Amino acid sequence: MTLCELLNYLDRESGYPALDGDCDETIKKALAGSHKDPLAGQIVAAITQNAAAPTADAAITRAQATTALGPLRLKAMREDVSGHDLKRMERTVHAIDGAFNDEALAARGS
């Protein structure tokens, strides 16, 4: 899966906006810290930094995407962080799983 495919899936399926423009623009804004949604920007930046390259067409695996979110997930689990942020992280992780599950099913013709 490409980084852009994953970002589009997250934007569509997580319940929270991941994109801030097209994929290239979203990646640039996230890495620069100027994404319109600070938490989404942190999520996109973390995933991007774990991809094969910081480009929309770079390959990314489920393991790379979920591992990238480890520090953000731990931060969201702290008691001083809002439940909303924890829920967003949970939904994002589930959406990542969904993206790769859908890709695997499509490859099997299911």
Region 82-106: mean pLDDT is: 93
Cβ neighbours, 10 Å, residue 83: 8
Identity of the amino acid at 23: C
pLDDT reported for residue 109:
86
Instruction: Give the pair of three-digit tokens for residue 47.
Output: 């995933």
Q: For residue 110, is pLDDT > 80?
A: no
Q: Could you report the per-residue pLDDT of 20-76, keeping only the tens digit for each?
A: 999 999 999 999 999 999 999 999 999 999 999 999 999 999 999 999 999 999 998
Q: For residue 92, is pLDDT > 90?
A: yes
Identity of the amino acid at 81: V
